[in-house]
Structure 1
Amino acid sequence: MQQKPFRLITISVSHYCEKARWALTKLKLPYVEEAHMPPFYRLATNRVGGKSTPVLITESGIFTDSTDILQYLDKIVPDNAKLYPTDTELRQKVEELEDLFDEQLGPATRRWGYFYTINDSQFLKKRWTQGVPFFEEALFPIVYPLMRPVVRKAFNINSESAAQAYEQINSVFQKVNELLADGRSYLVGENFSAADITFAALAAPVISPPEHPIKPRPLQELPDSFASKISAFRETPAGAYVLRLYRDRNS
C-alpha cells in the first residue's frame, strides 16, 4: 500500500499528462505534480528512466506512459472505482477506444493546436510555465526561440499536416458522435471509464473547456479561424460531451 503521495512529473500543458492527472483526481489518490517546461522536463524524467511525460513515481515502480499509469492505478483501487470494466468484453471495448484516442486523436489535436499557437510566445508562456520552478519560467524568453523549431520538427507542424490533423480529429469525433447517438451517458457500458478520460483529455486542445486546470485563453482572444473551429467542435455531440465531463470532473 502506497504510504506517500505519488509523484507525477508533467509538462503541465500536455494533454497526455492531463489524462494521468485526471485519473489520479478521479480516483482520489493523493499525488504531487512536478511540472516542467520543455526542455527542462528531461532533467526530471531522465533521472527516473523516462524519456517523456507523464511519469508516475510510486513505491511499487515507475510508470512512463499514460495508459500504463491508468492501468496501474486501476489495479490498486476498489472494484467500485475501476477505470476498466471487470467484464472482459467491455474492457476490450474500453482499451480499443483508449488506443484509438492515444494513437490518432492525441497527436492530431496537439499538431493542430500548435499550428495555431506555436508562434504566439505569450500564449505559450502561460501554458508552458504554469506550475514550473521559478528558474524555468525566468528562462522562457531564452528557451522559447530555441524550442520553437524543435517542437515544429518533432510534431511535424506545417499547414499540410495541420489540415490532415483537422480531418483526423473530425473522423474520431464522428466515431464518438455515433457512440453517443443512442443517448448513453458514457462511451462504454454504464460507468465512467478510461475511455472517457482519454477522449476528454486528448480532445481538450480543440474544445478548450473553461474548467481545464491549465486555464484556457478565451475564444475571443484566439485567431478567428482557430476560434471558429473550436466553436464548431464544441457544438458536436462529442464536443458537448467533453464540456460536460469537464464540468463534472471534480464531482
Structure 2
Amino acid sequence: MNQNLDSQKQVFRLITIPISHYCEKARWALEKLKLPYIEQRHTPPFHLLATGRVGGKTTPVLVTTAGVFTDSTTILKYLNSMAPANAKLYPTDSNLCQQVEELEDLFDEQLGPATRRWGYFHVMNDYQFMQKRWCQGVPFYERILFPLAFPITSSMARQKLNITPEATAQAYETINNIFAKVSELLVDGRTFLVGNSFSAADLTFAALAAPVVLPPQHPSKPSPLQELPPNMAAEINAFRETPAGAYVLRLYRDRSHLAPAI
C-alpha cells in the first residue's frame, strides 16, 4: 500500500501526558508533516490505562492503521516513511542521516532525562503548578481524582526519575555540556544542525530542551518566568542566552501549526 496515500485517509491518535517533552517531540512531527491527529491527554497514573489498552506503557503512543508505535523516535521514523521527499525528517544521504540519528540518540538518552529531572526538581512540590500542567486537557474525571492521586504519583515520580539534589546537579551539568556541544555546531552560522534542512535532530533538540528554555510559543503555554521559583527562572534565562538556547527559541517561533490536533 502507498503509505503517503494511506496517511491521507486516516486521522492518527496520539496518547500523551500533556507536560511530557517526549510527547511534544511526537506532536511536533505530526504538525511538521501536516498530518491530522487527535491528541488524547492523560495525567499520571491514568495514562497507564490508555496506553495499556493498545499495548503500550509509557507515552507517547501513536495509534495508526499500520500499528501502534510506543516510542518517540519510532514514531518519527514511521511518520518519516510517509513524508514527501522535501519534508523528510531523516536525510536520504546516508552520511547525513547517520549524523542526525547520532544527535537524536544523544538528545533522547541524555538531554531528555536531564531536562525532565531538572524541571521536576524545581516544581514537583508546587501542587498548583503540577495540577495545571499535568491536567491540561485531560478528561474531567482525571481532574477530579487528581488531588487524591497526586501524593502517590509524585512520590513514585521522584523515585522513578531520581529527583534528588545530587542527581539534579548532575542533570544540570549534562544539560550545560549538551548545550555547549550544540552551540559549537551553530558557531559557523548554519541554519540547521545537520545539512541544509530541518531534521529529526533539530526537532528532538528543541522539544527536549524546551523545559529549560520555556519558549513562549510552546503548545503547553508555559508560565511567565516571574511565576517560577527565582533560581529556576535565573537558570532558564541563562540557557536562553546561549546560542543553543537562542536556537530553540527560533525554532519555536518558526514552528508551523498547520495540522493541529482535532
What residue identity is the alignment partner of 2:176?
N
What secondary structure, in the 3-state scheme, does the structure 2 residue paired with 1:139 have?
helix
Structure 2 counterpart of 1:50: 56
1:210 matched to 2:216? The reply is yes
Structure 2 counterpart of 1:6: 12
1:140 to 119, 143, 146: 146
Q: CA deviation at 1:133?
A: 0.3
Structure 2 counterpart of 1:33: 39
Structure 1 counterpart of 2:244: 238
CA RMSD of superposed structures (Å)? 0.7
TM-score after normalising by structure 1: 0.99
d(CA) in 2 for partners of 1:215, 1:150: 26
What secondary structure, in the 3-state scheme, does the structure 1 residue paired with 2:15 have?
strand
Structure 1 counterpart of 2:180: 174
Q: CA deviation at 1:250?
A: 1.4
What secondary structure, in the 3-state scheme, does the structure 2 residue paired with 1:13 have?
coil
d(CA) in 1 for partners of 2:27, 2:170: 29
Q: In the TM superposition, what whole-angstrom CA distance separates every residue of 1:109-133 from its partner, at most 9, and x where no partner exists?
A: 0001000000001111111011100
Q: CA deviation at 1:146?
A: 1.4
In the TM superposition, 1:90-239 aligns within 5 A as 90-239=96-245
1:81 to 82, 87, 101: 87
What residue identity is the alignment partner of 1:53?
T
Runs of 4+ in 1 over 4 A off after TM superposition: none
Gaps of 5+ in 2: 1-5, 258-262
d(CA) in 2 for partners of 1:78, 1:4: 17
What residue identity is the alignment partner of 2:162?
N
Q: In the TM superposition, what whole-angstrom CA distance separates every residue of 1:173-208 from its partner, at most 9, and x where no partner exists?
A: 000000000000000000000000100000000001
What residue identity is the alignment partner of 1:82?
K
Q: CA deviation at 1:4?
A: 2.2
Structure 2 counterpart of 1:66: 72
d(CA) in 2 for partners of 1:155, 1:141: 21
Q: Percent identity?
A: 68
Q: CA deviation at 1:77?
A: 1.3
d(CA) in 2 for partners of 1:137, 1:239: 33
d(CA) in 2 for partners of 1:181, 1:143: 46
What secondary structure, in the 3-state scheme, does the structure 2 residue paired with 1:8 have?
strand
What residue identity is the alignment partner of 2:135?
T
Gaps of 5+ in 1: none
Question: How many residues matched?
Answer: 251
